[in-house]
Amino acid sequence: MTRLEKPALTAFVWLALLTMPWWMNAIGGYTELASRVLVLGLAAMALNFLLGYTGVLSFGHAAYFGLGAYGVGMMIKFVVPSTPLGMLVGVATGTVAAAVLGLLIVKLRGVYFAMVTIAFGQVFYFIAFRWNSVTGGDDGLTGWKRQALDLGFTQVDLLGNDRAFYYFLLFVFALAVGAMALILRSPFGRTLVAIRENERRARFLGIPVERHIWLSFVISCFFVSLAGTLYALLNNFVDPRALRWDQSGNFVIMAVLGGMRSFWGPLVGAAIFVVLQDYVSSHTENWMSFVGLFFVLVVLFFPRGVMGILARRRATDATKEGA
C-alpha cells in the first residue's frame, strides 16, 4: 500500500463530495441522504473543533444547532421569506447564545463542563417544546419552506431540485470548512492544541486559557449553528428534537467514529453514522441498538476511529519502507 499524504487525502475527500450525488445513487442511496451527510458532517466537525483540538467535551451543542434551525425557520415564516437572510439570523442566534452562556461555564472542566452544557441545552429544548404558539411545540415549526436563491441574473431553485440544493450545501460547507482550517492553522489554533495537550503548562507560559476556550466554544457553536440552519432548510421543518441532548450525543458519536483528532475524521464518522442509520432503520425499528453496538465495538477495538486506523497503517508502511 502506498503512503497516502494529507494533500492526497484532502483531494480524495473533495472528489468524493463533488461526485456524491452520482455514486450515492449508484450504491442504493439518494441525493437527500448525501445532503444529510454534508450537514451532519459539518456539525460533527464543528464539535470536533472544541473536542478534538481544544480538549473540551460539550454535550450541549444540539442547543445551538437547534437555535440555528429555529432561527432560519422562524425568519422565513414570520418575517422575510429569504433563505440567505434566514441563515444569517439563525447563525447569529446560535452564536450570540453561545457567547453569553460560554462566559458562565468557561471556568468549568471535564464532566462539570459537559453536564452544564446539557443543562443549558435542555432549557432551550423545553422552551421550544412548550412555546406552542410560536415554535409549534412537539409538532414542530411548519408552514414554511426554503426559498429560491435570487442571483440577480438568474434564480436557483433550491426546493424542486435536490441536486442543486446539494451543491448549495456543498458550497456553504466548503466555505465553513475552509474557514475552520485557516483558524486551526493559525497561531490561535496552535494555542488551542497546546491547551489540549497541557493546560497547566500553557497557563504557565502566560496564555489566557479561559479566553481561548471561550473563543473556541463560540467559534465551534458558530459552525454548528450554521449546520443547524442547513438542517432546517434540508427538511423544510424543525422540531424540538433538534435541540435535545441525544442530538449532541450523535455529534460526539460521529466525531469518535471518524477520529477526534483528525480534521476529516468527523465527516467520515458522520457518513458512516448517517448511512448506517438509514440502512438499518429501513429494516428494523430497533436500529438504535445496532448503531449503539457498532459504536461500542469501534470504541473498544479502534479507539482512534477510522482515520486513526488509516494513520496507523500509513505509519506501519513507512516503517517497513524505512527498514
CATH number of the domain that residue 104 is part of: 1.10.3470
In a domain, 108, yes or no: yes
pTM as predicted: 0.93
In a domain, 290, yes or no: yes
**What domain range includes position 36?**
6-322
**Who contacts 60 (Cβ-Cβ below 8 Å, separation ≥6)?**
116, 117, 118, 119, 120, 121, 245, 248
The answer to whether residues 309 and 296 touch, using CB atoms and an 8 Å cutoff, is no
In a domain, 242, yes or no: yes
In a domain, 1, yes or no: no
| Segment 112-160, tens digit of pLDDT | 999 999 999 999 999 999 999 899 999 999 999 998 887 766 777 888 7
In a domain, 163, yes or no: yes
| Segment 227-243, tens digit of pLDDT | 999 999 999 999 999 99
C-alpha–C-alpha distance, residues 115 and 252, integer Å: 14
Number of folded domains in the chain? Answer: 1
In a domain, 39, yes or no: yes
Is the pLDDT confidence value at 4 over 60? Answer: no
| Segment 291-309, tens digit of pLDDT | 888 888 888 888 788 887 7
31-54 vs 209-235: helix crossing angle, rounded to 10: 170
In a domain, 217, yes or no: yes
In a domain, 70, yes or no: yes
C-alpha–C-alpha distance, residues 303 and 296, integer Å: 10
Residue 319 has what pLDDT? 56
